[in-house]
Amino acid sequence: QKYDLPRLLPLTKYGPWQRAYPRIVCGLKRGFSYFLHRPETPFACQPDHGNELLVAASSTDESSDTHWLRADVDMFLAEEAANGGVEYVDRCEAALEPRDDHWRIASPRLSGAVRADFLIDGSGEGGVLARVLKIPNDVGHLKTNSRAIFCHVAGLRKWEELLVAQGNDLRDHPYPCDAAAVHHFLAEGWMWQLRFNNDVTSVGFTLAADAPAPQVSAGEEWRILLDRYPSLHAQFANSTIVQPPEGLRRTGRLQRCAAQMVGPTWAMLPNTAGFIDPLHSTGIAHSLCGIERLVGILSARAAPDAMHAALQKHATLQRREIHLIDRLVSGCYLARQDFRLLVPFASLYFAAATTYEHRRHEGATAKGYLLADDPAFTSLVEQLWERVDELAATPHLPDPKAAAFERKVAAAIRPYNRVGLLEPAVRNMYHHTAAPER
C-alpha cells in the first residue's frame, strides 16, 4: 500500500491469494507445529501434550499466512517487476567491476555495459558480491551448526490422518496440524514439512553437527533416518520425490554470515548477508524487514556521507538480527530431545515474533526484526541460552530443574508476553497469538 503495489496485497493472506491468484501455488500456514520423536519408537500424543507444541499464528484459513512455492512466486514477482518497468534479464552471467562511486556491469546478454550507482545483492547463498569483493564468511560467533537433506515429494500422508488412525485424540489441536510449518524433532536434529495446495510437500531433515554423519549417499542416509522413526516411515510410505529432478539434495554446513554487508555503493539483502537454519521459518520475514529498511535509506536520497552512515547502521542491525536468530535456533537444537526445555526456550522466539508484530500493528517503530534492536531482550536471550546449554548437557535432568527453567523463562519474557506463553492451562496448545486485524 505504501509503495502503490496493489497486486502484491493478496499475497499477504491465504484467502485473498486463492481468489486473486489461484494458479500461483502456495500452502496454508495456520501456525507452527512441533512434535518430539524417540528413535525406534512410534509417535503417540501424550495426554498432557508433553511431546507436542502447536502455536496458532492465524485464527482462520481466510487470514492465514502461507508457504510460498518459490518457483511460482518468484516468477510472479519477476513478471510484476518487468511490467512495472524493471529491465529483467534472466540467466544472466555478468562481470561486475567496482569503480570509485559506481559499478560497471557487462554481460553478453546485455546490449552494452551498464553503469549502476548502487548494487543490491539478493543472490542468497550464491553470494555474488562476497565473491567479487572477496568478503570472508564470518561464522565464528555462530552457535548453530547444521546441514540438510531435502526435496519435494508428492502423495505424503497427512500427519493428522496418521495420528487419528493410530488412536490419538486431537480435539485440543487449535488448527489442523498439517496446515502449518511442521517440525518433527529427532535425536539427529529435526524434519520440516511444508504442505502446498497441489499435493506437493517440501520436506527435509536438518541435522546437527553433533549427530554422526554416515558415510553413505544422500538417498541411503534419508532411508536410514526414516527407518529409525517408525511413524515418519509410515507417513512417507507412499510418497514419491518430484523435485529436484536429480533427486535428494544434501548440503554442507548451512550457516553463513558475511564479514561485511554494505559498502558506499552496495548492500546485501538479509538472506545474502547470512543464513542460520530453516527452524522457525524466519527467512522471508527477515528479508522483507531488511528490504523495508533499505528502501527507506535509498529513497531518502541523502548525501553520500549520510547515506553511507545510514547503511552502516542498517548493517549493524542486520548482523544483530542474524546473531539473535542464531541464538534462538541453536538453543532449540540443544534442547531438541527434551520438550521440558525446548518449549520454554522456543517461547523466546514466539515472544519476539508476536511483540514485533503487535508493535508494527500499533504503529510503533519496530526497526529490528525479532526485537534485535532491544538490548534488554537480546541480553535475556543470551542468558537463557547459557542456561539451556547447561541443562541440556545434564544427564537425566530432574523435573524440578526443568520446571525451574520454565519459570525462569516465563518471568524473563513477561514484558514481551502478550499471548499467554507458558500458561500452564494452555498445555502447549496455543489457539490465539496473532495481532489484531487492521
What are the residue ranges spanned by the domains of the chain? 6-71+146-250, 338-438
pLDDT at position 320: 98
The answer to whether 366 and 356 have CB atoms below 8 angstroms apart is yes
- Model confidence at 294, pLDDT cuts 50, 70, 90, reads very high
CATH topology for the 6-71+146-250 domain: D-Amino Acid Oxidase; Chain A, domain 2 (3.30.9)
- For 368-379, the pLDDT digits (tens) are 999 999 999 999
pLDDT of 393 strictly over 70: yes
At residue 366, the pLDDT reads: 66
**Burial of 406: CB neighbours in 10 Å, binned 0-12, 13-18, 19+:** middle
Dist CA 30 CA 24 (whole Å): 19
Looking at residue 438, what is its pLDDT? Answer: 53
The rounded mean pLDDT for the chain is 96
Place of cell 558415510: 215
Nearest partner of 199 among 152, 244, 249, 161, judged by Cα:
152
pLDDT in tens, 193-235: 999 999 999 999 999 999 888 899 999 999 999 999 999 999 9
Q: Extract the C-alpha cell encoding 296.
A: 527507506
pLDDT at 241 over 90: yes
Please say if the pLDDT value at position 103 is more than 80: yes
User: CB neighbours (10 Å) of residue 426?
Assistant: 16
pLDDT at 432: 84
pLDDT in tens, 402-429: 999 999 999 999 999 999 999 999 999 9
pLDDT at 148 over 60: yes
Residue 37 or residue 100, greater confidence: 37
**Predicted local confidence at residue 92, as pLDDT:** 87
399-412 helix and 339-361 helix, angle to the nearest 10 degrees: 10
pLDDT of residue 360: 87
Please indicate, yes or no, whether the overall pTM of this predicted structure exceeds 0.85: yes
Identify the pLDDT of residue 433.
80
What angle is formed at CA 91 by the lines to CA 87 and CA 96, rounded to 5 degrees?
75
pLDDT at 437 over 70: no
Using pLDDT thresholds of 50, 70 and 90, give the confidence band for residue 302.
Answer: very high
Report how far residue 33's alpha carbon sits from residue 31's, in angstroms, rounded to the nearest whole number: 7
Q: How does pLDDT run across 162-205, given as a tens digit for each residue?
A: 999 999 999 999 999 999 999 999 999 999 999 999 999 999 99
pLDDT of 282 over the 90 cut: yes
Does residue 436 surpass a pLDDT of 70? no
pLDDT category, 1, cuts 50, 70, 90?
Answer: confident
Query: Model confidence at 54, in pLDDT bands (50, 70, 90)?
Result: very high
Residue 367 clears pLDDT 90, i.e. is over it? no
Give the tens place of pLDDT for each residue, 20-31: 999 999 999 999
Q: Which whole number is the average pLDDT over 360-365?
A: 78
- Look at residue 47 in the predicted model and tell me its pLDDT: 96
Question: Quick one: pLDDT band at residue 133, thresholds 50, 70, 90?
Answer: very high
